[in-house]
Chains A and B, each alone.
Chain A
Amino acid sequence: MEFYLTAILQALCFSGLAIGIFISMKIFNIPDITTDGSFTLGGAITGVLLMAEIPPSLSLLVVMSAGALAGAFTGFIHAKLNVNPLLAGILVMTALYSVNLSLMGRSNIPLFNISTLFSPAFFLQDLNQNTFIVLLVFVVVMLLVIGYLLKTDFGIAMRATGNSETMIKALGVNTNRMKIIGLAMANSLTALSGYLITQFQGFADINMGIGIVIVGLGSVIIGETLIHWLKVKSILTNLVLVIAGAVIFQLVLAVTLDIGVDANLLKLVTASFVLLIVSLPRVLSVQR
């Protein structure tokens, strides 16, 4: 049981990543894989700052700004220099590997005896309960902020940018600027996930971001499936279902580990699982 609880907690850590991918992929229609780099960036900065005894609250600000900057770079390369978004993301992600390594100074920073966001002193004595409440606060605040933002005039313009660029240009929106802001937001949230995961697992690692974009994608795709099933229109409910997607995703992985699949095969299982969800609608419709 403990095992599944950990999976849920981990999923809540990943909710920023999932919402980030939702913003870049579903709202802006841009396949952004800066993610792998900005996630690690979030983790690396968290490790370095907490080791330097800078409080988690201040670290959070630095992490989210750094993630936003990384996303803005990708956005700039894509929108202003007219580079294919996939390539723009790969470029920034690759560059970030060096940045992260220089920041960390080594490939792994363990957080032994360091007070983190999840230190029991904060709320409750029970470690898991405490972690759960802290994460829940994060998720709820994030949902409310992003949910509100997407309903504002600015948010509608954002959604239209990915949906009908000709129209929104004619309606007076600078779509280049909009894309840069969108990718900055998405990667800021991804870095937030790196920040949470680092404190949750107790270390930052240079390789923690490898393939993480799949975790976000998988969560968004499961979320999408739920959105279609339930015919959800409200944007806030959409976001909630994306986070539900992240939880389901982590639970499925937990089940595979629980039934004894080798942990080394986890990425293979992850990729196969995402493939399964993506192809399922088509497979089912062919049968009909």
Chain B
Amino acid sequence: MLKISHLHKTFNTGKVNQVIALHDVNIEIQKSEFVVIVGANGSGKSTLLNCISGSIFPDSGSIHIGNCAVDHLREHQRSKWIARVFQNPLSGTAPDLSILENFRLAALRTSSKGLRIGITERFKNTVKDRIAELGMGLEAKVHQPMGSLSGGQRQALTLLMAVMDGLEILLLDEPTAALDPRSAETIMKTAAKLIANHQLTAVLITHNMKEALAYGSRIIQMAEGQVRRDVTGAQKTGLTPSNLYEWFL
């Protein structure tokens, strides 16, 4: 589904603050695989995710989604396959637009935003039904500006927005890092449910070892811009917190 080959990325090439963010990264992710990526700060996780989404371009190497080479496509063009949830809950939504308007845009992620009024009664009811499934009582507030909600609520809605339109790959960039433990748990449970229900291919970056153990079918550790460990299936299920802890020693 997602094939990353020989990816290299260096920031500030030739300067004193040169950073090798990615060095010959090769990863192949199958359809409906849920991959968790862990690694210390500066190990290249976020750079990798940004290269996949197209918000930055690698120096060399290639990325395929299905059979399509997406190297030359920009972020808004890759949105046809990819939906993202950002670390900062503010990044994934537009605060001054209403919840309904945010969802309308999300529902049009893969198609053009034309000159017609798309927020109809029917669309409104669809959105309300979807939001009601979260059990947060937000369905009564669809006309409120997104900015009036808490970070946790916004992040939950961002997740729902991701599946409003067809998608192949869901990228989760530390979605719970800015949230309190309870909200974080709700978000992760919601994410896991959506990924399972829609059979999504998902990539999650996290610093939370409990999340890394509890979720996903495969775990990749990155260090110094390279893949250090890649553990799948029963081996992943058998991992214990102390195993993970040792990885970081």
Contacts and interface: CB of A to CB of B under 8 A. Distances in A.
Interface residues of B, number: 38
A174 interface: yes
Given A168-B105, A171-B79, A154 B53 contact: no
B109 to A, nearest CB: 5
A281 interface: no
The main secondary structure of chain A at its interface with chain B is helix
A172 B97 contact: no
Contacts of A154: 113-115
A159 B113 CA distance: 12
Given A156-B97, A159-B96, A163-B96, A173 B113 contact: yes
A198 B94 CA distance: 40
A267 interface: no
B76 A160 contact: no
Given A152-B114, A153-B113, A171 B105 contact: yes
B108 A160 contact: no
A153 B92 contact: no
Contacts, number: 92
Contact of A153 (B90, B93, B96, B104): B104
Interface residues of A, number: 23
Given A153-B118, A156-B97, A170 B92 contact: yes
Contacts of B117: 148, 151-153
Interface of B: 53, 55, 74-77, 79-80, 82-84, 86, 90-98, 101-102, 104-106, 108-111, 113-119, 143
27 contacts: A152-B113, A152-B116, A153-B115, A153-B117, A154-B114, A156-B105, A156-B113, A159-B97, A160-B97, A163-B94, A163-B95, A163-B96, A163-B97, A164-B93, A164-B95, A166-B91, A170-B82, A170-B83, A171-B79, A171-B106, A171-B109, A172-B79, A172-B109, A172-B111, A173-B76, A173-B105, A174-B74
The 4 tightest CB contacts between A and B, nearest first, are: A172-B79, A164-B94, A157-B113, A163-B94
